[in-house]
Chain A
Amino acid sequence: MDPALTRNFSIIAHIDHGKTTLSDRLLEVTRTITERQKQDQLLDAMDLERERGITIKAHPVTMAYAARDGKTYQLNLLDTPGHVDFSYEVSRSLAACEGALVLVDAAQGVEAQTVANVQLAMNQNLMILPIINKIDLPGADPEKCRHQIEEVLALPGEDALLASAKEGIGIEDILEAIVERVPPPRLRGDDTLRASVFDSVFDSYRGVVSYVRVFSGTIEKGRRIRMMATGNDYEVKEVGVFTPKQSPRPALGPGDVGYLIANVKSTADVKIGDTVTDARKPAAEALPGFKEIHPMVFAGVYPVSSEDFEQLKLAIGKLQINDAALTFMAESSAALGFGFRCGFLGLLHMEIVLERLRREFGMDVISTYPGVVYEVDKTNGETQVIDNPLMLPEPQEIEEIREPLVKAFIMLPNEYIGDVLQLAMEKRGIVDHTETIDDGRVMLVCLLPLNEILVDFNDRLKSMTRGYGSMDYEHAGYQPAKLVRMDMLIAGEPVDAFATIVHRDKAASYGRKLAAKLKDVIPRQLFVVAIQAAVGGKIIARESIGAMRKNVTAKCYGGDITRKRKLLEKQKEGKKKMKAIGRVSIPQEAFIEVLKTSG
Chain B
Amino acid sequence: MIQVPPADREPVRHLYVHIPFCHRICPYCGFYKHTPGATDRKRFIAALVAEAHHAAATIPLDIETVFFGGGTPTLLSHTHLELLLDGLHQTLPLSNVREWTFEANPKTFDRAKLEILRTHGATRLSLGVQSWNSQFLQLLGRDHTPEGARESFELARQSGFPSLGIDLMFALPGQTIDQWRDDIDTTLDLQPDHISTYNLTYEEDTEFMQRFERGEFHQDPDADAPFFLLAAEKIPAKGYHHYEISNYARPGHASQHNSAYWKGSSYLGLGPSAVSTIHRQRWTNIPDTTRYIEAVESFHHARGSAETLTDNDWRTERLALALRTSQGIALEMVGGPHNPTVQSLLEQNLAHIRQTHLALTRKGRLLADTIATELL
- Residues of A bordering B, CB below 8 Å: 526-527, 547-559, 561-562, 564-565, 567-569, 571-572, 575, 583
Question: Is A551 a contact partner of B321 (Cβ separation < 8 A)?
Answer: no
- B228 CB to closest chain A CB (Å) equals 7
Separation of A556 and B367 alpha carbons in the complex (Å): 15
Between-chain CB contacts (< 8 Å), 19 pairs: A526-B367, A526-B370, A527-B348, A551-B368, A553-B199, A553-B369, A554-B199, A554-B201, A557-B258, A557-B261, A558-B267, A558-B269, A559-B273, A559-B274, A561-B277, A561-B320, A568-B320, A571-B370, A572-B373
User: CB-CB < 8 A to B348: which residues of A?
Assistant: 526-527, 547
User: CB-CB < 8 A to B245: which residues of A?
Assistant: 553, 556
Separation of A250 and B372 alpha carbons in the complex (Å): 76
User: Which of A551, A555, A558 contacts B367, CB < 8 Å?
Assistant: A551
Question: Is B344 a contact partner of A565 (Cβ separation < 8 A)?
Answer: no
Q: Determine if B371 is an interface residue (Cβ-Cβ < 8 Å).
A: yes
User: CB-CB < 8 A to A552: which residues of B?
Assistant: 199, 201, 219, 221, 224
Question: Is A559 a contact partner of B275 (Cβ separation < 8 A)?
Answer: yes
Asked whether A556 and B275 contact (CB < 8 A) given A526-B371, A551-B367, the answer is no
Q: Determine if B222 is an interface residue (Cβ-Cβ < 8 Å).
A: yes
B221 to A, closest residue via Cβ: A550
- A525 CB to closest chain B CB (Å) equals 9
Interface size band for B: 35 or more
User: CB-CB < 8 A to B273: which residues of A?
Assistant: 559
Question: Is B371 a contact partner of A564 (Cβ separation < 8 A)?
Answer: no
Question: Is B320 a contact partner of A564 (Cβ separation < 8 A)?
Answer: yes
Question: Is A561 a contact partner of B224 (Cβ separation < 8 A)?
Answer: no
Q: Determine if B256 is an interface residue (Cβ-Cβ < 8 Å).
A: no
User: CB-CB < 8 A to B284: which residues of A?
Assistant: 559
Asked whether A558 and B320 contact (CB < 8 A) given A548-B367, A553-B246, A571-B373, the answer is no
Question: Is A565 a contact partner of B316 (Cβ separation < 8 A)?
Answer: yes
Separation of A557 and B366 alpha carbons in the complex (Å): 18
Q: Determine if B313 is an interface residue (Cβ-Cβ < 8 Å).
A: yes
B347 to A, closest residue via Cβ: A527
- Residues of B bordering A, CB below 8 Å: 16, 69, 196, 198-199, 201, 219, 221-222, 224-225, 228, 245-246, 258, 261-262, 267, 269, 273-275, 277, 282, 284, 307, 313, 316-317, 319-321, 324, 344-345, 348, 350, 365-374, 376
Separation of A575 and B321 alpha carbons in the complex (Å): 20
Question: Is A549 a contact partner of B222 (Cβ separation < 8 A)?
Answer: yes
Asked whether A565 and B317 contact (CB < 8 A) given A552-B221, A554-B201, A559-B274, the answer is yes
User: CB-CB < 8 A to A555: which residues of B?
Assistant: 196, 198, 201, 246
Separation of A547 and B350 alpha carbons in the complex (Å): 11
Question: Is A527 a contact partner of B344 (Cβ separation < 8 A)?
Answer: yes
- A209 CB to closest chain B CB (Å) equals 56
Asked whether A562 and B344 contact (CB < 8 A) given A526-B374, A553-B199, A572-B373, the answer is no
Asked whether A558 and B199 contact (CB < 8 A) given A548-B367, A549-B366, A550-B224, the answer is no
User: Which of A527, A549, A568 contacts B373, CB < 8 Å?
Assistant: A568
Separation of A526 and B274 alpha carbons in the complex (Å): 35
Separation of A567 and B369 alpha carbons in the complex (Å): 9
B372 to A, closest residue via Cβ: A568
Question: Is A548 a contact partner of B370 (Cβ separation < 8 A)?
Answer: yes
User: CB-CB < 8 A to A556: which residues of B?
Assistant: 245-246, 261-262, 320-321, 324
Question: Is A550 a contact partner of B366 (Cβ separation < 8 A)?
Answer: yes
User: CB-CB < 8 A to B372: which residues of A?
Assistant: 568
Question: Is A571 a contact partner of B344 (Cβ separation < 8 A)?
Answer: no
- A129 CB to closest chain B CB (Å) equals 60
A524 to B, closest residue via Cβ: B222
Separation of A550 and B365 alpha carbons in the complex (Å): 8
Closest CB pairs A-B (n = 7): A550-B225, A550-B366, A550-B221, A549-B225, A549-B222, A551-B369, A571-B373
User: CB-CB < 8 A to B350: which residues of A?
Assistant: 526
User: Which of B198, B219, B269 contacts A559, CB < 8 Å?
Assistant: B269
Question: Is A564 a contact partner of B277 (Cβ separation < 8 A)?
Answer: no
The listed residue with most B CB atoms (<10 A of its CB), out of A547, A550, A557, is A550
Separation of A548 and B220 alpha carbons in the complex (Å): 11
User: Which of A549, A568, A583 contacts B316, CB < 8 Å?
Assistant: A568
Separation of A583 and B366 alpha carbons in the complex (Å): 20
A575 to B, closest residue via Cβ: B373
- B267 CB to closest chain A CB (Å) equals 6
User: CB-CB < 8 A to A551: which residues of B?
Assistant: 221, 366-370
Question: Is A564 a contact partner of B317 (Cβ separation < 8 A)?
Answer: yes
Separation of A526 and B372 alpha carbons in the complex (Å): 12
User: CB-CB < 8 A to B261: which residues of A?
Assistant: 556-558, 561
- B137 CB to closest chain A CB (Å) equals 19
- B33 CB to closest chain A CB (Å) equals 12
User: CB-CB < 8 A to A568: which residues of B?
Assistant: 316, 319-320, 369, 372-373, 376
User: CB-CB < 8 A to B344: which residues of A?
Assistant: 526-527, 583
Given contacts A559-B274, A561-B275, 9 further A-B contacts (CB under 8 A): A526-B344, A547-B348, A549-B225, A550-B224, A550-B225, A552-B201, A553-B246, A557-B258, A557-B261
Question: Is B371 a contact partner of A553 (Cβ separation < 8 A)?
Answer: no
- B163 CB to closest chain A CB (Å) equals 17
Separation of A555 and B201 alpha carbons in the complex (Å): 9
User: Which of B282, B313, B319, B368 contacts A553, CB < 8 Å?
Assistant: B368
Asked whether A561 and B366 contact (CB < 8 A) given A552-B224, A572-B376, the answer is no
Separation of A554 and B31 alpha carbons in the complex (Å): 13
Separation of A527 and B348 alpha carbons in the complex (Å): 7
User: CB-CB < 8 A to A548: which residues of B?
Assistant: 222, 367, 370
Separation of A403 and B348 alpha carbons in the complex (Å): 46
